[in-house]
A = this chain, B = another copy of it.
Amino acid sequence: MRSESLCFAFRPAACLAALATLAYAAQLPAQADPEVHESARHNFRVVTVADGLVNPWSIAWLPNGDMLVTEREGRLRIVREGRLLPEPVAGVPDVRARGQGGLLEVCPHPDFATNQLLYLSFAKPNEDASLATTAVARGRFDGGRLVDVEEIFVADAWAAGNAHFAGRLAFDPDGYLYLSVGDRGASANLMADHPAQSLEQHQGKILRLHDDGQLPADNPFVGRADAKPEIWSYGQRNPQGLAVHPLTGEVWENEHGPRGGDEVNLIRSGANYGWPVVSHGINYDGSVYSGETHRQGIESPVWAWVPSIATSGMLFYTGDQFPWWRGSLFVGGLVGERLARLTLEGDRVVSTEMLLPGAVGRVRDVRQGPDGLIYLAIDGRRGPPTAIVRLEPVSGEVAPPL
């Protein structure tokens, strides 16, 4: 049984409730009473959990309550009992920390409690450092450092630039590991010749692997001579968020469009998500590369932001702390400096709400803690060192649902 499947941002509520007994809240240092933010359904405060981090990218928890945070420069940090440990975890692979690249996602194995396996995605340089790609390493976390670290997968997405690595990781309920790989900044003008539309390389794809990086035999393009068999879906641009739906087990993704056209997609096996031949977006200079927003044979997005917010981490909320938000999909915004909440009916978005516009900075990741609170990684980019914060409910005039 995978009861410790801590990489899911969206475990069953029962599991969460059990984990909440860790009484995470009581471990945090006292802080001055922060401002109350109002929303349509819940009022909340934003409380700093850890600061002094540099470009935090990904948040995860271990069964003992430790919070793991990656810093893009190449450090894996631990927040234990409300305190950021000064020493990073040793054993992390070397990364190419330039531009958008570096140490990216941290994701515990669903069976971490028994196997102590941690997964890290990162920007990997080639031998002479002229090129880089997206890769995944796995190691055993012995409580202080990573040991037995091995690269379990290196994407064939080599490019000289340092853009669009993507690198999100997620396990589905059957234990398959998904990796998002960006288009590495290839020109949209390539249109149908764009690598995101080619099955012969990994740029602009969602990949599906076994937990050891090996190939699942039932992947959609297995056996085709003209396709990389790890591909699960294609036509992605820069997929910055992955989350598995808590009820259906389906993989949802978000990606950066060009100017306009950030997308949330429901990822289906073998499907084409259209970049760059079909998009709601336009070029940054205002010119149009595609007048089509949909086309037969290309999956339409579940949601598109026009203008873009520069999406990031993604969460299906299942906790008890914000009852009205249960079932909502949260998506962070970088340039958009906000937390978007999408209300779903099945796989349709029927309402949206913008939380914290301009109030906390660039939201790089959004996750649900074992306490049912919502945690954000705030990425200051070129600003001062930044923080992990969390949303805590404030009882107000809005009553909980029946």
Contact = CB atoms under 8 A, between A and B. Distances in A.
A288 B402 contact: yes
A350 B302 contact: yes
B306 A351 contact: yes
Interface in A296-315: 300-307
B300 A401 contact: no
Contacts of A292: 401-402
A148 interface: no
Given A294-B345, A399-B287, A307 B40 contact: yes
A348 B348 contact: yes
A302 B398 CA distance: 24
Interface stretch (A278-286, A367-375, A385-393): A278-286
A348 B205 CA distance: 25
Contacts of A41: 260, 282, 306
Nearest to A282: B398
Given A40-B306, A306-B41, A282 B399 contact: yes
Interface of A is mostly: loop
Interface in A216-242: none
A402 B279 CA distance: 13
Given A352-B352, A397-B286, A402 B303 contact: no
A287 B396 CA distance: 10
A357 interface: no
A150 interface: no
Nearest to A38: B307
B300 A402 contact: no
A89 interface: no
Contacts of A356: none
B288 A343 contact: no
A356 B280 CA distance: 21
A396 B41 CA distance: 39
A342 to B, nearest CB: 11
Given A280-B351, A306-B351, 4 more contacts: A280-B343, A286-B397, A306-B343, A349-B350
The 3 closest A-B pairs by CB, nearest first: A291-B401, A286-B397, A291-B402
